[in-house]
Amino acid sequence: MYFLIVILMTEFDYLFRKYHRRLLLYTLKFVERESDALDIVQNVFVAIWENGKYKQKEELVQAYLFNSIKNGCLNYLKHQKIVQKFENETSFQLLEMEAVYYQSGEKSLIERENLKQINDAIDSLPAIYKEIIVLSRVEGLKNDEIATQLHLPIRTVETRVFRALSALREKISRKSFFILLSLRWLQ
């Protein structure tokens, strides 16, 4: 019995040593993080150990390994899409809840400090960006309404809003920036 286990382990060990690095490099073509790639490769080797595929001809095992890696990567990427969608939805829900909270008028010292930080950052913007952000975020006007009011092309308004938000993102905290983005909802 012991001799049989050693022979089986030797076959598996041979396959592991021969294909592990190649499979890892192949996996990294699909997956960004090495730790995730290592998990996928490990799961494939566990599967061939558990179902005894390593006992077959090496050509069949090789095809099975690479096919299993491809499928494992596709499953991983599908899962990551679901996780990302959930994170985006959760983040959006938190922003909505925060906007409702701010709308309720119950502002603590910390909230007032966030709003002060936002106002100070807006005041530090060049006049053309400050005017656009005030109209967009504070007064709640849409880009086409701003364009009409300022007699500007809508594309110019969009560009100025983008540049102003980019400048503000660098000047204020992440939380304050999310509050700024939600200000349009508070109207």
Percent of the chain with pLDDT over 90: 1
Q: Which CATH class is domain 107-186?
A: alpha beta
Confidence of residue 183 (pLDDT cuts 50, 70, 90): low
Does position 108 have pLDDT exceeding 80, yes or no?
Answer: no
> Tell me: the pLDDT tens digits for 128-143?
888 888 888 778 888 8
CA distance 104 to 118: 19
CATH of 2-89, one of 3.30.200, 1.10.3470, 1.50.10, 1.10.1740: 1.10.1740
Domain ranges of the chain: 2-89, 107-186
* Confidence (pLDDT) at 155: 92
Does position 123 have pLDDT exceeding 60, yes or no?
Answer: yes
- What's the gap between Cα 116 and its chain centre? 29
- Burial environment of residue 170 by CB neighbours within 10 A (0 to 12, 13 to 18, 19 or more): exposed
Q: How far is CA 117 from CA 40, 129, 130, in A?
A: 45, 17, 14
C-alpha angle 98-99-103 in degrees, rounded to nearest 5: 115
* Mean per-residue pLDDT of the chain: 78
Among 13, 42, 12, smallest CA distance to 27 is for: 42
> Tell me: the pLDDT tens digits for 38-60?
888 988 888 887 776 666 677 77
Does position 18 have pLDDT exceeding 60, yes or no?
Answer: yes
Contact 39, 73 (CB under 8 A): no
Confidence of residue 104 (pLDDT cuts 50, 70, 90): low
> Tell me: the pLDDT tens digits for 154-163?
899 899 888 8
CA distance 154 to 113: 33
Beta carbons within 10 angstroms of residue 3's beta carbon: 7
